[in-house]
Amino acid sequence: MKHRDTRRMTQVLIASVLTALLLVSCGGSGAPDVDWEISITGAVDTPLTLTYADLAEMPQTELNEIMMEKSTGEDEVTSWSGVSIDVIFEQAGVDEDFSTVIATAADGYAIEITRDELEGGIIALRDFEGWIAETDPDKGPIRLVTPQTPGNRWVFSLTALSVQP
């Protein structure tokens, strides 16, 4: 009887460890728990609302040593990682011939960005120091980083992208 009990306890322990590993791997990005959403609307086949967790689980693109031209202060070379705008636009069914996108921040600030300016852009979740939600909570938790434009056009606290035909 003791052999059965030991065997059963070993099976339960192994199952528990495997379950814990599975749960950790599902959230394997190590992303902080952030209550944030971004909507992709306008000239799209499938309007999207993506949570911070959704973005963290998507394939991440690295932008290394990007010149961040600032409107005030010294320009700096920075690194970012996040979800490619192209990947998100593909999910939403954005036509390649769109003209502009209106990017809106949580405080209502909005800017119109051309298709060319968005080239190589990402919705950044991390900067060179770590998760933006943790390293720069006043300007986070996500940021639109568009390497083709000066840093003052990189919208922080991004909540919406509205694709214009």
Q: CATH number of the domain that 139 lies in?
A: 3.90.420.10
- Residue 73, C-beta contacts closer than 8 angstroms, at least 6 positions apart: none
Q: Greater confidence, 37 or 25?
A: 37
On whether both 12 and 37 belong to a single domain, the answer is no
Q: What mean pLDDT is reported for the chain? A: 85
What is the maximal distance between C-alpha atoms in the chain?
76
On whether both 85 and 129 belong to a single domain, the answer is yes
The domain total for the chain is 2
Q: 42-78 pLDDT, tens per residue?
A: 999 999 999 999 999 999 999 998 777 766 777 778 8
- The pTM (predicted TM-score) of the whole model is 0.78
What range defines the domain where residue 10 resides?
1-30
Q: 121-155 pLDDT, tens per residue?
A: 999 999 989 999 998 888 889 999 999 888 888 99
On whether both 158 and 122 belong to a single domain, the answer is yes
pLDDT attached to residue 139: 85
On whether both 92 and 117 belong to a single domain, the answer is yes
